[in-house]
Amino acid sequence: MMMRRSATAVLERNVTWSGEFATEPWEAAWAGEAMFFVRRLDGLIAPDSSAVPAPLLRARVQLSPDGIRWIDEGCSLVLNADDEMAFVRVREFGGWLRLAGTVRPGETAKVIAYLSLKE
Amino acid sequence: MNPTHTGPFRPLPDIIYADDFDCGLQGWTGLIGNYEHSLDSILPEYRDLRPPMLSNATTWDTGTGGSATGTYSMKLATRAKSRSLAVGVKRTTYPVACPLQLEMLFTFKPEASQLRLSLADVGAVGIIFDLQDAQRRVMPHLRYLNAINGELAGRWQFKQRSPTFHDIGDSGDTVSHFHLGPDGWQDLPGGDQRLCYNEIATKQNWHYLRVGFDLATMSFTALQCNDRHFDVSTLEPMTMPAMPNLWCMLNVVLFAEASADRRAFFYADSVLLSADFDAAKKDGR
């Protein structure tokens, strides 16, 4: 049996996001499936008593035919203020992938972001 | 080793690795600066690096270009920022201190985000060996300086002077030095070379590169790019005292630097590292 090739790229490491953000364009034509992970490296924001999760950041998977112009794929992830990590999975994405999103106004998030690709 | 290897290669008798990126990244990975306790302790110049990716060289106007001998190459991509670096490394050790030869097919281009050739937007592409024997850590540096400050340069350079080492953390076990910066590069005598860029940003021509280095004498033996054979007899590699955990290290580093606020892309179709394990017997060393 042929082993399935796989590769995880660290797209951002120990970077602080605020406002709008987008990861660098990544070529993924060889892969059939992908997962983005975003993990926070700074302290979690303690949940308040309302018990309603508060999104700290939202990010959309984006596709591109050329690595220059981008369009939303439809999948997204939400990292709540009291979560350490969030992910989103995507298939049939063509040649390029990135993650674009927004951090809640007035907040920042120090993160490490991964793209895990598999044939 | 991959079963077939096509290209203009004439390796030495012993193959250390023959990496065809149609078979994956083949152990090439990203460079990270040393750290202790916290990622915040990484030297600033090493913080914003990403690993290599597999590219089929798709462009907006013609579609997929593929690689020189297949579909995929290994791609290093800088940020769209002048002086941004992209670095890939493969880490092995050597079984014999003998002559080495690295051959590869490579090309470089700026991101085709403007409808012009943009040939001065890639600053430099280069190759470094990171080696250690019983006495020394030796880091032969070579780069093709494509452009500087928006002007084409077109010459090969080397770097001999070792930058300052910095203590990382508080244990005394970890140090770091940023040796990939713009300082300290010297022109290779007779090292001017014009490469085939083609005429628009989306046309790539692949170049042949051959670098020879002898682990027994820790000296350069060859530099060939396409039809040019350069005299390396006066080149000295960067040398420093041996470090505690790097014995027999044989790392190869490829890198690219942007010279404009546009992504610089470096592509390697194949990397073939060969050696002559019996060289000492042949020449009576």
Taking an 8 Å cut-off on Cβ atoms, the answer to whether A14 and B40 are in contact is yes
Convert the pLDDT of each residue in B129-156 to its tens digit: 999 999 999 999 999 999 998 899 999 9
User: Predicted confidence band at A49 (pLDDT cuts at 50, 70, 90)?
Assistant: low
Query: By a Cβ cutoff of 8 Å, what residues of chain B touch chain A?
Result: 24-25, 30, 32, 39-40, 42, 47-48, 50-51, 53-56, 58-60, 64, 72, 75, 77, 79, 111-113, 263
Using a CB-CB distance cutoff of 8 angstroms, which residues of chain A are in contact with residue B47?
Answer: 13-14
Mean pLDDT of chain B: 93
Whether A91 has its CB under 8 Å from any CB of chain B: the answer is no
Report percent pLDDT > 70 for chain B: 98
Range with lowest mean pLDDT among B197-201, B272-276, B277-281:
B197-201
Chosen from B42, B55, B118 to mutate, greatest number of chain A CBs within 10 A: B55
User: Predicted confidence band at B169 (pLDDT cuts at 50, 70, 90)?
Assistant: confident
Specify the CATH number of the domain B14-161+184-279.
Answer: 2.60.120.200
State the pLDDT at residue A69: 98
Query: Residue B3 to residues B16, B17, B18, B22, B267: CA-CA distances in angstroms?
Result: 14, 12, 9, 12, 22
Kindly state the DSSP code that residue A98 receives in the 8-state scheme: E
Using a CB-CB distance cutoff of 8 angstroms, which residues of chain A are in contact with residue B50?
Answer: 9-11, 24
Residue A14: is its pLDDT beyond 50?
yes
- Highest mean pLDDT: which range of B3-12, B102-111, B164-173: B102-111
> Which of these, B93, B108, B96, B118, lies nearest to B201 by C-alpha position?
B118
Residue B1: is its pLDDT beyond 70?
no
Residue A1: is its pLDDT beyond 80?
no
State the pLDDT at residue B92: 98
**Structural domain boundaries in chain B:** 14-161+184-279
Task: Compute the 3-state secondary structure of chain A and give helix, strand, coil in percent, each to the nearest 5.
Answer: 0, 60, 40
Kindly state the DSSP code that residue B195 receives in the 8-state scheme: -
Whether A55 has its CB under 8 Å from any CB of chain B: the answer is no
Beta-carbon contacts of residue A118 (< 8 Å; ≥ 6 apart): A4, A5, A6, A31, A32, A33, A34
Using a CB-CB distance cutoff of 8 angstroms, which residues of chain A are in contact with residue B55?
Answer: 27
Convert the pLDDT of each residue in B98-123 to its tens digit: 999 999 999 999 999 988 888 899 99
**Structural domain boundaries in chain A:** 11-118
Give the SS3 label for residue B62: coil
Specify the CATH number of the domain A11-118.
Answer: 2.60.120.380
| ipTM score | 0.94
CA distance B149 to B62: 30
CA distance B13 to A99: 46
State the pLDDT at residue B173: 84
Sign of CA dihedral B169, B171, B172, B173: negative
Nearest CA in chain A to B21: A30
DSSP letters, A53-79, are: --EEEEEEEEEESSSSS-EEEEEEEEE
pTM: 0.95
Taking an 8 Å cut-off on Cβ atoms, the answer to whether A27 and B40 are in contact is no
State the average pLDDT over residues A45-69: 85
Taking an 8 Å cut-off on Cβ atoms, the answer to whether A68 and B111 are in contact is yes
CA distance B271 to B273: 7
Residue B4: is its pLDDT beyond 60?
no
Whether A97 has its CB under 8 Å from any CB of chain B: the answer is no
- How many Cβ atoms sit within 10 Å of the Cβ of residue B59? 20
Whether A10 has its CB under 8 Å from any CB of chain B: the answer is yes
Nearest CA in chain B to A22: B79
Convert the pLDDT of each residue in B18-48 to its tens digit: 999 999 999 999 999 889 889 999 988 989 9
Whether A16 has its CB under 8 Å from any CB of chain B: the answer is no
